[in-house]
Amino acid sequence: MTYLSQEAERPKRIGSVPGHLVINRGREEGNSRLYHDYFSDNPTYGANLFRRRFRMHRSLFLRIVEAVREHDNFFVQKMDGVGKLGLSTLQKVTSAFRMLAYGTSADSTDEYVRIGESTAIVCLKRFCRAIVEVYGDEYLRTPNVDDVASNGKIVQQHAAWAGQYSGRHGGPTIILEAVASYDLWIWHAYFGLPGSNNDINVLQSSNLFDNLSQCIAPPAHYTIQGKNYDVGYYLADGIYPKWPTLVQTISNSDDKKKQYFAMMQEACRKDVERAFGVLQSRFAIIKGPARFWDKRTLHDIMTACIIMHNMIVEDERDEQEDVVISTPQSIPNAENMEITETERFQRFLARHKRLKNKEAHFALRNALIEHLWERHGNEAM
């Protein structure tokens, strides 16, 4: 006896389902209206309104549209079965983008874009996947040598994201671990850890310090109180472990130096909260409950939003600001390729131990306290 798979048993989709209402949406008219409203030489809505509704300048949006169309044939406008033009690239991308920017349902895009609910969902999923595949390596990378040199501070924080994993309050949550710099650029994002989450177990599962432990991270050279350092540090709150790569605030201290350090540390640590706030304001889909339960889709949506956020930061950065975002550069590995696996493993353990040296953590924090007080203590008097 021959058994057919579920795919083989399922009838192929060859048109409208008998009994279902066929809606003549007027795709051509919808595409014409969309083009004249925003993309013609003399659009109905000018540059300011475009920036407000699409979260970015038109030139950047069109650059994304072209890249997505070139990457995925799904976004190329085609003829349907009766010889009529189907949905345009602009209609498909605009539908996906409206859902990301406004956090609306797929059905709500139909009235303006003229696109069905199921098609709008497909557009969103494929758009986010295309963004990740086309721009992920460039706009969601770890800092290279130039990046480290141009950024004097990087901040770490965690934020909650609705999803399918159970959190400590019983509701579905996904934890987002993000690293952001003062110019709102998000350098690192880790999310999707199942189970009960907090700052500690997310940090332990994250790949944030992998490059450091493997000795392939770019060096961050600086001098504090006469001592030279070659490993950067992240600003964090008090729940994090006492690692020399994490500098925490100090609570409830009567010492003026420590009070001033805590004030400055917490002020800088607000950068990542500000970056995530801007991310949420640009892409409202992040604010509310997740509309999809598939882990891959949630990952693509969040990653695509972060990538486009970074693209907007780069596009709108003040030219006078002394910040350079350069193309990724390879970091030479200092390891001798001829060493044995045992020796390589021993070096890894030594670096890993160094990253978790508690005494080095307090030594760095005390040096920073004295350094800040010497340079800016008169401001706190």
The residue count for the chain: 381
pLDDT at 330 (0 to 100): 41
Report in angstroms the alpha-carbon separations of 11 from 8, 221, 224, 339: 8, 63, 70, 59
Please give the DSSP secondary-structure letter assigned to residue 175: E
pLDDT (tens digit, 9 = 90+) per residue, 266-308?
877 777 778 888 999 999 998 877 667 677 888 899 999 999 9
Q: pLDDT-derived band of residue 32, with 50, 70 and 90 as boundaries?
A: very high
pLDDT at 17 (0 to 100): 55
pTM across the whole model: 0.72
pLDDT (tens digit, 9 = 90+) per residue, 133-152?
999 999 987 666 565 555 54
**H/E element, 346:** helix 341-355
Please enumerate in sequence order all residues whose Cβ is within 8 A of that of 193, keeping only pairs 6 or more positions apart, or say none.
165, 174, 175, 201, 202, 205
| Distance separating alpha carbons of residues 154 and 320, to the nearest angstrom | 21
pLDDT (tens digit, 9 = 90+) per residue, 88-146?
999 999 999 999 999 988 999 999 999 999 999 999 999 999 999 999 999 987 666 56
Q: Which of 286, 304, 283, 308 is nearest to 126 (CA)?
A: 304
pLDDT at 31 (0 to 100): 94
pLDDT (tens digit, 9 = 90+) per residue, 175-208?
666 777 778 888 777 765 555 555 556 566 566 6
| Distance separating alpha carbons of residues 179 and 225, to the nearest angstrom | 27
Sign of the C-alpha dihedral computed for residues 296, 299, 305 and 307 taken in this order? negative
Percent over 90 (pLDDT), the chain: 31
Mean pLDDT confidence for 311-333: 58
Please give the DSSP secondary-structure letter assigned to residue 83: S
Q: pLDDT-derived band of residue 236, with 50, 70 and 90 as boundaries?
A: confident
Mean pLDDT confidence for 346-373: 80
Sign of the C-alpha dihedral computed for residues 74, 80, 84 and 87 taken in this order? negative
